């Protein structure tokens, strides 16, 4: 297995539920973000849940999501073996059951999120049930996360113009009928760029969902999507109410681009000639005395900066979420 399996991941969630902390599930789109995440988690002795969306898989596979999953899976496994923490992979916001079936067949992910939340309730149940069946029929140990309710905003071509909060009683029926291992709920967060001060968060609803599920013998971990703009104090309120998986994507995307921007803005004359007339890239500036500075434009310079910044951000998030110092697999 390229990563620890769903069985080991389930034990991390059990710890999180018992001790009131969360695992920050972090999306990647390219290797520098992934390497920064592993470094940040290792620095804080926190287990790490990396996430790949279908879009990220297609991007990594030059249009072929299966090739992307295989290539990124091998890459993550190779790097993770250098560290003494638990590393897991979740396939985030999956809508294509055929692709999910292939993921299960390959046995690469630790968990898969089937997202049929944009469908009517019965169709959501049916598609989520099928994802659970695919996992149960295989020899692989893969957890299935499903979603009930809709989160405002757009994520990987799934878009909702408004939020539809999760109903606690429907959550009981949904979990009971689908058999999902984790439940993503809608309690006021938002996909994409959002500020915590503008969100109408409902930690009370998260607690009601958890209590209602428990009253029916369904103590499944709850998942908070769209949390990039959620502030630390807001997040900690959620963690006391059954949330133990917190998704982050937009924050890392911003940090990636901002880090590159800062480097190139501060060193613009090392990359762009002083006069537009001298900007003949076709001859690599053969007709001017100016030359670009490879100590700045070498992609590895920016890549190292990005890894360091992502590591710092993720390390801080493990402190906020409470997973720092709690790796079940660290030495």
What pLDDT score does 157 carry? 56
How far is the CA of 267 from the CAs of 153, 184, 283, 301, in angstroms?
A: 35, 43, 22, 12
- Residues 6+ away with beta carbon under 8 Å from 215: none
d(CA 289, CA 295): 18
Tokens encoding 200: 């109408």
Q: pLDDT tens across 88-119, in order? A: 999 999 999 999 999 999 999 999 999 998 89
pTM above the 0.85 mark? yes
Q: What is the pLDDT of residue 53?
A: 95
pLDDT at 295: 96
Catalytically annotated residues: 92
DSSP letter for 151, please: -
pLDDT value at position 154? 44
Low-confidence ranges of the chain (pLDDT < 50): 1-2, 153-154, 159-161, 191-199
pLDDT tens, residue by residue, 170-182: 999 999 999 999 9
Q: Distance from CA of residue 82 to its chain's centroid?
A: 21
Output the pLDDT for position 162. 55
| Contact of 28 with 52, CB cutoff 8 Å | yes
Q: Which residue has the tokens 């500036």?
A: 285
For the chain, domains (ranges, CATH) are: 6-257+297-321 (3.20.20.70)
Give the count of beta carbons closer than 10 Å to the beta carbon of residue 274.
Answer: 11
DSSP string, 76-113: HHHHHTTSSS-EEEEEEEE--HHHHHHHHHHT--SEEE
Give tens-digit pLDDT for 49-59. 999 999 999 99
Q: Is 224 left (phi over 0), alpha (psi -120 to 50) or beta?
A: beta
End-to-end Cα separation, the chain, in angstroms: 20
Q: Which helix (H) or strand (E) holds 60?
A: helix 54-60
């Amino acid at each position: 297995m390229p990563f620890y399996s769903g069985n080991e991941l389930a034990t991390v969630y059990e710890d999180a539920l018992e001790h009131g902390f969360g695992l920050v599930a972090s999306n990647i789109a390219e290797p520098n973000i992934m390497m920064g995440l592993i470094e940040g988690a290792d620095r804080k002795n926190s287990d790490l849940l990396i996430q790949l969306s279908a879009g990220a898989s297609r991007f990594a596979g030059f249009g072929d999501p299966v090739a992307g999953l295989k290539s990124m899976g091998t890459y993550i496994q190779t790097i993770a073996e250098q560290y003494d923490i638990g590393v897991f992979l979740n396939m985030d916001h999956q809508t294509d059951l055929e692709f999910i079936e292939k993921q299960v067949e390959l046995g690469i992910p630790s968990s898969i999120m089937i997202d049929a939340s944009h469908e009517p309730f019965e169709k959501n149940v049916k598609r989520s049930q099928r994802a659970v069946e695919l996992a149960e029929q295989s020899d692989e140990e893969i957890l299935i996360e499903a979603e009930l309710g809709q989160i405002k905003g757009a994520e990987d071509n799934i878009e909702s113009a408004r939020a539809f909060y999760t109903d606690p009683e429907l959550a009981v029926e949904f979990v009971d009928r689908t058999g999902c291992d984790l439940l993503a709920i809608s309690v006021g967060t938002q996909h994409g760029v959002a500020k915590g001060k503008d969100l109408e968060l409902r930690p009370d609803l998260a607690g009601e969902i958890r209590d209602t599920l428990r009253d029916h013998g369904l103590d499944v971990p709850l998942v908070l999507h769209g949390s990039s703009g959620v502030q630390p104090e807001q997040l900690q309120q959620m963690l006391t109410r059954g949330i133990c998986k917190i998704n982050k994507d937009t924050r890392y995307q911003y940090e990636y681009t901002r880090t590159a921007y800062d480097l190139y803005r501060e060193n613009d004359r090392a990359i762009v000639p002083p006069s537009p007339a001298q900007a003949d890239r076709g001859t690599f500036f053969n007709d001017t005395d100016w030359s670009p500075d490879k100590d700045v434009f070498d992609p590895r310079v920016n890549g190292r900066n990005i890894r360091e910044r992502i590591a710092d951000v993720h390390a801080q998030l493990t402190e906020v979420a409470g997973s720092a110092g709690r790796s079940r697999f660290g030495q």
